[in-house]
Amino acid sequence: MSQPDAPSRPVFPCAVLSVVKHAYVARGVFSHPRFRPVVVADDPHVPEWTHERNQKFADECQVPYVRDINKALTEYGAQVAVVSTEAERHCEMSLRAVQAGLNIVQDKPITTENAIESCQKLVRAVESSRRKFLLWNRNFLPAVQQAHALIQAGEIGKPTAIHIDFYFSKDAGPPKGSSRPGDSPLNWQEYLIAAHVTSGDGGLGKLPMGELEIEGIYPLAYMHRLIGLPVRRVFARTTAHFHQLYADNQVDDLATVTLEMENGVLGTLCLGRIGAASHPDIGEIKLHVLGTKGALVMSEARPEVAVYYRGQPPAEFRNRRVAIDNDYQLMDNFAHAIDTDGETILDARAGLEIVRVVTAALQSGRTGKPVDVLPVFS
Amino acid sequence: MIRLALVGCGPWAQDYACVASRLMGAVVAVAVDSDARRAAWAARLLNAAPLVVGSPECLASHAAEFDAIILHVPLADHSQYIHGAAAAGKHVLAAPPLTLSVSDACSLHQCSQQAGVRLMVASADRFLPSLTTLKSSLDKGQLGQLGLMRLHRWETVGPDQRDSATDASHGESAACLARDITLCHWLFGQMPTQVLAHGRGGPGAALPFHYLQLHLGFAAGGMAMLDYTRDLPRGSGYFSLSVIGSSGAAYADDQHNHQLMFTGGRATSVPTEQGLLGQLGRLQEFVRAIEQQRDPAGGSGEACQVMTIIEVAQQSIASGTVCQRREGDGVYVPT
């Protein structure tokens, strides 16, 4: 809603650097009136299907698509880069944008397990240039905000433990155990390319990624927001329990993590892509927080509205989340950070901290032993 | 008709009184306590005969008055009473944990087996309608292979809420663990391969482990995560148990079963409880197992395994390490 008396605030021209995976990040950015696309871009050498997706989004936004990242960063007046490449290209792409003087909104995860160094470079570049960086997250969902507000108000005292369930009930191809002798392993990238139509391509890339690596950012970002303490040591169990794709590619679709934080605060995380049959909606996602004076049990899905009707498609969620303003709030937070030279709700350093936790958990899952979480720049 | 003796007459006698009239094939015939007033009070509730007895030996001299025992004595006294009962050919129903050590638990198991009596170690939890529904779905194969069990149990344990069986500090810690490890063992039906546990005392608390957290691994990638606190502010507790299988999931969660009440200010949530059906189911299973001369659900063999997990969890808490089950001998070793 325009406010005639309010002083006008600058609108930030944005370069969308690849929408090969989700377009939801870019769409989320442009849900805020202070951000507008000016160009979509990618490197010339990416596969043709990538160019097609980028072109399609450029057409939707009615902006040019250029097969030249440097040109997009320098010739269109962009002040913000929206990065939604494959996860393995995230950091490299964001780094190029920061070095060109842009602020960054980047899809999750901030980087992959084997690209920590590039992420460290990114964090250093962001911090030394005083550019703003927002790692896409869900911390502005109504229930998460409510939990944060209740904790901040001291309603449960000082938090002593946090437990997060993050089960999302999506399928990922045939169930585990469905392959027959002699079948070739399912190809990760081919499957994820095909999954684009259902937005089930969060792990798109050449390298397979487990759900802890793809989705772990969200619950760990909740912990970051609600507890705000560094994680010192983790113990994890990881397995491919549901989907043949994950079993064939030896990555997890189910994981549990024990987290030991500073000041003796404990946490646990149960996370999985548990299959569409396992929940009537998007999945059971809950926050449990224990404090010195009380405790919270929060359902991340609330508020929601139940809708049932004759002929309803089986896959349609019966409970629909409402009042979700996460996209706008994230971008408002980002705009405010730029305006005031302030912090974003999840910046590059926090993203790297989370990756350190995920990396330690993956290592623990492989070794069966607790693993110390390394400092950001060790 | 099987004649039951309630040995130890605390507040729980009221629950037994509520379900006793619905029991098939059994009556509570005797209410036993070392305190005459308590014995008389419970006897009135249960429509039973009071018996003032302060030791297993004395109880043995009244063996003709009952066939089986519902045991509610301090955990440290379990062994004596169960040995005495077995010697007298009496069956025993006890709440977990069975004892304070694996060796004691195994001794009681063997003693009962040799005497041909039933020794059932179970809380009412596994007989609650919510959890029997969940287990039934799992057993029917509707959920596929169990991959994850997630359990939260938060409660306040004030002095008047403490069972006399759990009044020693070590016993309390074991009891906190025992209920939920029993559920976990019941659902997975196997011993964990890995155990990592954390425990800590509450603010200003004299007793250890006001907070407990367990991370268990099972064969074929199975896993369980349990947390327990007794530090909630006085009032309602909270329980949630979810099982995630390869083809389905079940959620038994208190949050779904709370109603709203408005009395000004913030609305209050009020739980719709499952009544005493869990307690009735527990007691009925004990009676049926005796009648049918079979092992009860929650037999003493299982109790020994649960006790093993408790000991390993306590080792893990003390050492801060993961305990791994060694292939071959099944011994847990720190990693």
Range name among A1-15, A21-35, B278-292 with the lowest pLDDT average: A1-15
**CB atoms A235 and B215 under 8 Å:** yes
Residues of chain B neighbouring A235 (CB-CB closer than 8 A) = 196, 215, 322
Superfamily, domain B2-124+281-299: NAD(P)-binding Rossmann-like Domain (3.40.50.720)
Q: Is the peptide bond before A303 cis (omega within 30 degrees of 0)?
A: yes
**pLDDT tens string B91-127:** 999 999 999 899 999 999 999 999 999 999 999 999 9
Least confident of A22-26, A185-189, A207-211, B169-173: B169-173
CB contacts, 8 Å: A290 with chain B: 154, 211, 229, 231
Mean pLDDT of B235-261: 96
Percent of chain A exceeding pLDDT 90 equals: 89
**A267 and A196 share one domain:** yes
Q: Assess whether A169 and A32 both reside in one domain.
A: no
Q: What is the pLDDT of residue B57?
A: 87
Q: Which residues from A are below 8 Å from B227, CB to CB?
A: 161, 163, 268, 288
Domain end among A96, A131, A166 = A131
A1 contact partners, CB below 8 Å, separation of at least 6? none
**Considering only alpha carbons, which residue of chain B is nearest residue A271?**
B148
Instruction: With a cut of 60, say whether residue B167 has pLDDT above it.
Output: no
Average pLDDT over residues B3-30: 96
Instruction: Look at A258 and B335 and tell me if their CB atoms are within 8 Å.
Output: no
Q: Is the ipTM of this complex over 0.90?
A: yes
Query: Does residue A6 register a pLDDT over 80?
Result: no
Q: Could you say which of A97, A131, A165 is where a domain stops?
A: A131
Across the interface, whether the CB atoms of B322 and A160 are under 8 A apart is answered no
Indicate whether A120 and A50 sit together in one domain: yes
- CA A268 centroid distance within chain: 19
Check whether residue A125 and residue A183 sit in a common domain: no
State the pLDDT at residue B168: 44
What are the structural domain ranges in chain B?
2-124+281-299, 125-276+306-334
Task: Note whether A184 and A240 are same-domain residues.
Answer: yes
> Closest chain A residue to B198 measured between Cα atoms?
A266
Give me the CATH number covering residue A122.
3.40.50.720
Contact A237 B322 (CB under 8 A): no
pLDDT at A199: 78
Given A111, A131, A151, the domain boundary residue is A131
Give yes or no for residue B166 having a pLDDT over 50: no
Are A237 and B321 within 8 A, CB to CB?
no
Count of domains for chain A: 2
Tokens of A19: 């929408």
The mean per-residue pLDDT over the stretch A229-244 comes to 98
CB contacts, 8 Å: A365 with chain B: none
**Whether residue A110 sits in one domain with residue A158:** no
Instruction: Tell me if B231 and A279 make a contact (CB, 8 A cut-off).
Output: no
User: Is B221 close to A369, i.e. CB distance below 8 A?
Assistant: no
pLDDT digits (tens, 9 = 90+) for A310-353: 999 988 999 999 999 999 999 999 999 999 999 999 999 999 99
Position B163 pLDDT exceeds 50 = no
Answer whether residue B322 shows pLDDT above 50: yes
Nearest CB partner across the interface for A239, out of B198, B221, B255: B221
Q: What is the pLDDT of residue B9?
A: 96
pLDDT score, position B162: 44
**pLDDT for the residue A177:** 94
User: DSSP E strands: which ranges in A262-338?
Assistant: 266-273, 285-291, 295-299, 304-306, 319-321
Q: Are strands A304-306 and A319-321 parallel, antiparallel or unpaired?
A: antiparallel
**What is the average pLDDT across A341-369?**
97
A77 and A153 both lie in a single domain: no
Asked whether residue A122 falls in the same domain as residue A150, the answer is no
The size of the A-B interface in CB pairs under 8 A is: 112
Domains B2-124+281-299 and B125-276+306-334 fall in the same CATH topology: no
CA–CA distance, B185 with B173 (Å, rounded to integer):
18
Identify the residue among A266, A297, A302, A372 best suited for mutation to test binding to B, counting B beta carbons within 10 A and taking the highest.
A297
| Residue A291 in this model has a pLDDT that exceeds 90 | yes
CATH for B125-276+306-334 is 3.30.360.10
What rounded mean pLDDT belongs to chain A? 95
**Percentage of chain B exceeding pLDDT 90:** 85
| Residue contact B255–A294, C-beta within 8 A | no
Tokens coding B314 = 């306590």
Distance CA B49, CA B46 (A): 9
| Residue A164 belongs to domain with CATH number | 3.30.360.10
Q: For residues A78 and A72, what is the distance between their CA atoms, to the nearest angstrom?
A: 8
User: What residue in A sits closest to B324 (Cα-Cα)?
Assistant: A368
Alpha carbon of B297: minimum distance to chain A alpha carbons (Å):
28
Closest partner residue to B246 (CB to CB) among A165, A242, A294 is A242
**B198: chain A residues, CB-CB within 8 Å:** 258, 260, 266
* CA distances to A142, A215, B225 from A270, in Å: 21, 11, 8
| A24 domain-assigned | yes
User: Phi first, then psi: what are they for A223, rounded to 5°?
Assistant: -65, -40
Contacts of B211 in chain A (CB under 8 A): 160-161, 266, 290
Inter-chain CB proximity B147 and A254 less than 8 Å: yes
Mark whether A98 and A193 lie in a shared domain: no
Q: What is the pLDDT of residue B250?
A: 98
Number of other residues whose CB lies within 10 A of the CB of residue B306: 29
Among B164, B155, B184, residue whose Cα is nearest residue B77:
B164
Per-residue model confidence (pLDDT) at position A3: 54
Over 50: is that where the pLDDT of B132 sits?
yes
Q: Looking at residues A168-194, what average pLDDT do you find?
A: 92
Cβ <8 Å between A370 and B321? yes
Contacts of B224 in chain A (CB under 8 A): 256
CA atoms of A282 and A218, how far apart (whole Å): 14
pLDDT of residue A76: 98
Residue A260 lies in a domain: yes
Digit-coded pLDDT (tens) for B169-217: 556 667 778 999 999 999 999 999 999 999 987 555 445 678 999 999 9
Instruction: Please tell me the predicted confidence (pLDDT) of residue B170.
Output: 54
pLDDT of B165 reads: 39
Residue A342 within any structural domain of the chain: no
Range of the domain at A101: 12-131
- Say if CB B48 and CB B30 are below 8 A apart: yes
My answer on whether A248 and A305 are in the same domain is: yes
Token pair 């995230």: residue: A90
Residues A203 and A254 in one domain: yes
Average pLDDT, chain B: 92
| Pair A156, A295 in one domain | yes
